[in-house]
Amino acid sequence: MNIQPTLLIEDLAFAYPDGNQALFGVNLSVNKGERVALLGPNGAGKTTLVMHLNGIHPTGHGRVMVAGKIVDPSDKAGIKEIRSKVGIVFQDPDDQLFMPTVGEDVAFGPYNMGIRGSELDKVVDQALDLVGMAEFKERPPHHLSFGQRRRVAVATVLAMKPEILILDEPSSNLDPASRRELADILRTLDITIVMVTHDLPYALELCERSVILSGGIIVADDKTDVILKDKELLRSHRLELPVGFAL
């Protein structure tokens, strides 16, 4: 039986208006339930690629498909559905948290999808439970620690019940305890994950598969431990394991 991938990227190329070519023909297939780390040096095109997955960037050449549907920003109804299926957690949680309370932040997306009343309360409570932040529902987000705000940002996306969770540098700026707590949460989620990260040990911990994007193309796609053992591959694409880290 031919199983359709949850995410399919075919020959995706993209240039910014100033002429800077960021992607040169990216091909990637991610199946339902997979956890894939997207690795690569700064300027490799990782953020540009992610911004194509829910139509923030228009597709210049090639195509992106989510759950069998083409991502086309000009299709207003279709892109609304796509954006409910692809949830992006940005590197800075303050880019996602702007309501007076944690609960209102988590409710914002579902409310705008038409969910109301007790059903909305249930969705919010479930999302906060998933990230261990239920007791902070009535707190202002700016009163929380950075790690707590990142967990709430994850909850705002989970409340939309997406098929794919995109995480942009999820471990950045976290202290060791917050880093571990977030990893514990992410491991429990029954969802497809694409994780953009420079944190190679975090990729190994959470994603069985990794791809390296470098110079706007995918140069490696394999099991994470296989990629991380290839010192020459890592070195040639400006990726480094922490000093003393042993596989």
Q: Element (H or E) spanning 220, and its range?
A: strand 217-223
The CA distances from residue 43 to 21, 46, 219, in Å, are 11, 8, 14
User: pLDDT per residue over 131-176, tens digit each?
Assistant: 999 999 999 999 999 999 999 999 999 999 999 999 999 999 999 9
Tally of CB atoms within 10 A around 237: 17
Contact (Cβ atoms closer than 8 angstroms) between residue 198 and residue 241: no
Q: What is the Cα–Cα distance from 222 to 86, expressed in whole angstroms?
A: 23
Q: Element (H or E) spanning 191, and its range?
A: none
Tally of CB atoms within 10 A around 43: 14
Q: What is the Cα–Cα distance from 126 to 111, expressed in whole angstroms?
A: 15
Topology at the third CATH level for domain 7-92+163-236: Rossmann fold (3.40.50)
Q: What is the Cα–Cα distance from 24 to 14, expressed in whole angstroms?
A: 7
pLDDT of 2: 59
Contact (Cβ atoms closer than 8 angstroms) between residue 105 and residue 99: yes
Q: What is the Cα–Cα distance from 10 to 17, expressed in whole angstroms?
A: 22
Q: What are the boundaries of each domain within the chain? A: 7-92+163-236
- Where would I find the H helices in 86-239? 102-112, 117-130, 146-158, 176-188, 200-206, 224-229, 231-236
Strands 35-39 and 192-196, bridge-based pairing: parallel
In the block, residue with structure tokens 């290839």:
230
The CA distances from residue 131 to 78, 155, 157, 200, 205, in Å, are 29, 6, 11, 23, 18
Q: What is the Cα–Cα distance from 198 to 92, expressed in whole angstroms?
A: 15
Tally of CB atoms within 10 A around 17: 5
Three-class secondary structure of residue 149 per DSSP: helix
Residues of the chain with pLDDT under 50: 1
